[in-house]
Chains A and B, each alone.
Chain A
Amino acid sequence: AQTVTQSQPEMSVQEAETVTLSCTYDTSENNYYLFWYKQPPSRQMILVIRQEAYKQQNATENRFSVNFQKAAKSFSLKISDSQLGDTAMYFCASRAYNFNKFYFGSGTKLNVKP
């Protein structure tokens, strides 16, 4: 089984600044994937970034990057140059390589202030 923990229920950041969302996970799998999903008020789930656990290099997608610490089982999301459109719930998730179900954290609500 896998568990995903997000210890920050809510965070705020000023527009154009940088914010880091925390996520820790626990898994007995050797091969797995980690994800960050964004859920704006529309409730649509949008994939932000994905990391393969066997890759040491941290994934990056434009203003979004992760800090993947495999030994510590930590997978934080850094958002640079925050924009008002980044306001949303952010969910961290894990998935074993050979299984298709996601395990989601409880989410962090991010407010970007003008």
Chain B
Amino acid sequence: NAGVMQNPRHLVRRRGQEARLRCSPMKGHSHVYWYRQLPEEGLKFMVYLQKENIIDESGMPKERFSAEFPKEGPSILRIQQVVRGDSAAYFCASSQSTSGNADTQYFGPGTRLTVL
């Protein structure tokens, strides 16, 4: 069973461009979470999605950031008009459910976004 997949692993964008980060959860997982890690800091929660629904987006900036998890295909974190402050590692995690032992979140390897 493959783990959580994220691509690309590294992404370079110039200021004002769009960044699209993809996350494929583990097989059988329908819950996806996105976190951002700034240099020398811990991970900060951004958004939690279930298939086709955003459950909690309290950690996501109101402007320029959006996330989706369609019925088919990976979850996408989209950052429009990127700025230098968006440079960070973005981690995706998935879980099978939200209760019991099946709620353990497994993390992907992250996408390192660099904005020039």
Contacts and interface: CB of A to CB of B under 8 A. Distances in A.
A42 B104 contact: no
Interface of B (DSSP majority class): strand
Size bracket, chain A contacts: 20 to 34
Contacts, number: 56
B35 to A, nearest CB: 7
B104 A47 contact: yes
B66 to A, nearest CB: 18
Size bracket, chain B contacts: 20 to 34
- Which residue among B35, B42, B105 has the maximum number of chain A CB atoms within 10 Å of its CB? B42
Interface in B32-74: 33, 35, 40-45, 48, 55-56, 58-59
A89 to B, nearest CB: 9
Contact of B55 (A44, A45, A100, A105): A100
B103 A106 contact: no
B42 A100 contact: no
A103 to B, nearest CB: 7
A91 B42 contact: yes
B106 A47 contact: yes
Interface of B: 31, 33, 35, 40-45, 48, 55-56, 58-59, 89, 91, 93, 95, 98, 103-107, 109-110, 112
Given A44-B107, A100-B95, A105-B42, 4 more contacts: A4-B42, A43-B89, A46-B107, A107-B41
Interface of A: 4, 37, 42-47, 50, 91, 93, 98-107
